[in-house]
């Protein structure tokens, strides 16, 4: 009895260690709570398992495989087939009449793989890998019980958008190492769903983002996420290109809405506008924040990372102090604050915003004066090592116009035809520079003449004194009028010392 007691204790201790070891293994293989591989695996065989037939042989390119420890043990492996031999290969082994539930086709060369054919109706796992298949067209039949679909490494360029929507039990989809640009619609239906798109670097990030950013029935898990990148269009003025972005960078977008500015009664909208590329750094998404028309009285206190565009138009904002004092605004490139109650932008002087901005739109506010430094024609862009033009919009404001207004606003404001002069009662475009830059005369206008006359008199005196001294030394007398001048006490003193 004592032995049984000790045996039970040892078994409990072993079970505890085994359980702890299992949890440790799970944690070691789980990063960020995401397992490394999907729970459902497709039926898959290596090339060495293919039927051994010659190039000109009439033997069947498919063979039946019996699986162990599965409910439906019948599987089929086909290798090196094309559109002509596919029908023969599947027929010569009796598919689909032998209750085959798992099929793996290796090295198939097909222009189109038709999913609507009845032969796939009873499958639970279908793998078509390591071949040359250009397109997937058609829809799987209703109630097709496929749980795992593997179309990897086929150079696929298209999967029709609705091809997979009827697969209500599909849990694992492998589209890795293909040339797809768009992801087909996926019927996840609230269940656990695994997708592998590693190596398919041509997929647009926008298609992937819609599944990362949503929760519930639309959310999916990406297999081999660390090896997955997508393509994003980058537009920067005249420069267009395509950049590959790591999937982890795309995941940042899923948290974008949580960082988006919001209050008790208002909510801004945050979206991605383009790609920003800085030499020596990975490409990042540039964020566009839209806070227009939500009754704001001041600028948002915080902005998401990588915010380059902010729109606060149609609000009740009166000051723009945050543009010069808040670090969140230092990297803004485009700022829209149309239809507000802004009266001055003088506090922007010396701010980092003025060093970086490319577009400043303050249409229909109450601005009376515009500092000329706001209108500097270009700025050095440190990200691209180029000079970028500045764009300013001020339409709908009534400025106090002067000579600087006439000189600069006409050529450096995009909508100068909509800017009025409150003191001239005309548009800025109608200002006459010659008339606006004439100043009324006063005594300061003659200061240069006075200085010139004084310099000439001084030069004349120096010449006369030098001449008199020369005459005195050579002739022994002072010329007129020097000899007619009355003697002064200093002259008597000088004569005494010379004797």
Give domain limits for the chain.
Answer: 47-51+59-254, 260-393, 443-484
Beta bridge partners of 194: 172, 221
CA angle 390/391/395 to nearest 5° reads 150
Beta bridge partners of 388: 379
Identify the helix (H) or strand (E) that includes residue 411.
helix 410-412
Q: Which CATH number fits domain 47-51+59-254: 3.40.50, 3.80.10, 3.10.450, 2.40.30?
A: 3.80.10
Query: Can you tell me the distance from the alpha carbon of 355 to that of 21, in angstroms, rounded to the nearest whole number?
Result: 57
84 to each of 97, 109, 115, 160, 168, how far by Cα in Å? 20, 10, 17, 23, 31
Q: How does DSSP classify residue 301?
A: S
- Of 156, 197, 193, the closest CA to residue 174 belongs to 197
Query: Can you tell me the distance from the alpha carbon of 184 to that of 202, in angstroms, rounded to the nearest whole number?
Result: 14
Residue at token pair 């038709």 = 114
Fold observed for domain 260-393: 3.80.10
CA angle 298/304/310 to nearest 5° reads 50
Query: Can you tell me the distance from the alpha carbon of 255 to that of 304, in angstroms, rounded to the nearest whole number?
Result: 10
Identify the helix (H) or strand (E) that includes residue 106.
strand 102-106
Which pLDDT score, from 0 to 100, does residue 1 have? 43
Query: Can you tell me the distance from the alpha carbon of 60 to that of 449, in angstroms, rounded to the nearest whole number?
Result: 112
Q: How does DSSP classify residue 182?
A: S
Contact 270, 256 (CB under 8 A): yes
Beta bridge partners of 233: 242
Identify the helix (H) or strand (E) that includes residue 448.
helix 447-475
Query: Can you tell me the distance from the alpha carbon of 283 to that of 243, in angstroms, rounded to the nearest whole number?
Result: 8
Beta bridge partners of 126: 103, 149
Q: How does DSSP classify residue 262?
A: B
Q: Which residues touch 478 (CB under 8 Å, ≥6 apart)? A: 468, 471, 472
Q: Which residues touch 85 (CB under 8 Å, ≥6 apart)? A: 61
Q: How far is CA 313 from its chain centroid?
A: 22
Which pLDDT score, from 0 to 100, does residue 130 have? 96
| 389 SS3 class | strand
Query: Can you tell me the distance from the alpha carbon of 80 to that of 9, in angstroms, rounded to the nearest whole number?
Result: 58
Query: Can you tell me the distance from the alpha carbon of 275 to that of 233, in angstroms, rounded to the nearest whole number?
Result: 7
Beta bridge partners of 136: 113, 159
Q: How many CB atoms lie within 10 A of CB 348?
A: 18
- Same CATH fold, 260-393 and 47-51+59-254? yes
| 381 SS3 class | strand
Low-confidence ranges of the chain (pLDDT < 50): 1-35, 235-240, 379-387
Which pLDDT score, from 0 to 100, does residue 24 have? 35
Record the tokens describing residue 154, joined without a space: 């086929």
Contact 339, 316 (CB under 8 A): no
């Amino acid at each position: 009895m004592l032995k049984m007691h000790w045996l039970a204790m040892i078994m409990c201790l072993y079970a505890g260690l085994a359980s702890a070891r299992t949890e440790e293994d799970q944690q070691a293989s789980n990063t960020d709570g995401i397992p490394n591989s999907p729970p459902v695996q497709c039926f898959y065989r290596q090339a060495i398992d293919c039927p051994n037939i010659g190039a000109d042989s009439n033997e069947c390119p498919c063979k039946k495989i019996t699986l162990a420890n599965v409910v439906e043990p019948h599987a089929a492996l086909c290798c090196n087939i094309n559109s002509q031999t596919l029908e023969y290969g599947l027929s010569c082994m009796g598919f689909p009449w032998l209750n085959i539930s798992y099929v793996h086709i290796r090295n198939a060369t097909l222009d189109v793989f038709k999913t609507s054919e009845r032969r796939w109706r009873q499958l639970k796992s279908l793998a078509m890998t390591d071949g040359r298949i250009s397109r997937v067209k058609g829809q799987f039949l209703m109630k097709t019980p496929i749980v795992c679909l593997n179309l990897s490494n086929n150079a696929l360029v298209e999967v029709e958008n609705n091809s997979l929507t009827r697969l209500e039990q599909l849990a694992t989809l492998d589209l890795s190492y293909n040339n797809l640009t768009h992801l087909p619609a996926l019927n996840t239906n609230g269940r656990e769903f695994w997708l592998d798109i590693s190596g398919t670097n041509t997929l647009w990030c926008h298609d992937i983002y819609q599944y990362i950013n949503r929760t519930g029935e639309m959310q999916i898990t990406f297999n081999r996420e660390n090896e997955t990148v997508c393509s994003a269009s980058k537009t920067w003025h005249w420069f267009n290109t395509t950049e590959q972005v790591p999937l982890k960078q795309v995941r940042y977008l899923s948290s974008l809405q949580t960082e988006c500015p919001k209050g008790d009664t208002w909510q801004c909208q945050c979206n991605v506008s383009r790609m920003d590329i800085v030499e020596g750094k990975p490409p990042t998404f540039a964020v566009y924040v839209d806070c227009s028309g939500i009754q704001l009285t001041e600028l948002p206190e915080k902005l998401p990372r990588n915010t380059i565009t902010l729109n606060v138009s149609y609000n009740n904002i009166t000051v723009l102090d945050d543009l010069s004092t808040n670090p969140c605004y230092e990297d803004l490139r485009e700022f829209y604050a149309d239809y507000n109650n802004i009266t001055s932008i003088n506090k922007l002087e010396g701010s980092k915003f003025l060093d970086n901005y490319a577009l400043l739109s303050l249409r229909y506010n109450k601005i009376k004066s515009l500092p000329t430094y706001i209108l500097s024609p270009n700025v050095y862009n440190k990200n691209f090592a180029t000079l970028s033009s500045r764009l300013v919009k001020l339409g709908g404001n009534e400025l106090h116009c002067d000579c600087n207004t006439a000189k600069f606003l006409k050529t450096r404001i995009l909508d100068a035809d909509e800017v009025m002069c409150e003191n001239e009662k005309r548009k800025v475009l109608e200002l006459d520079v010659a008339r606006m830059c004439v100043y009324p005369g006063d005594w300061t206008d003659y200061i240069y003449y006075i200085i010139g006359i004084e310099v000439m008199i001084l030069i004349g005196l120096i010449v006369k004194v030098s001449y008199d001294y020369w005459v005195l030394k050579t002739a022994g007398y002072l010329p007129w009028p020097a000899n007619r001048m009355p003697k002064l006490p200093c002259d008597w003193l000088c004569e005494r010392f010379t004797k």
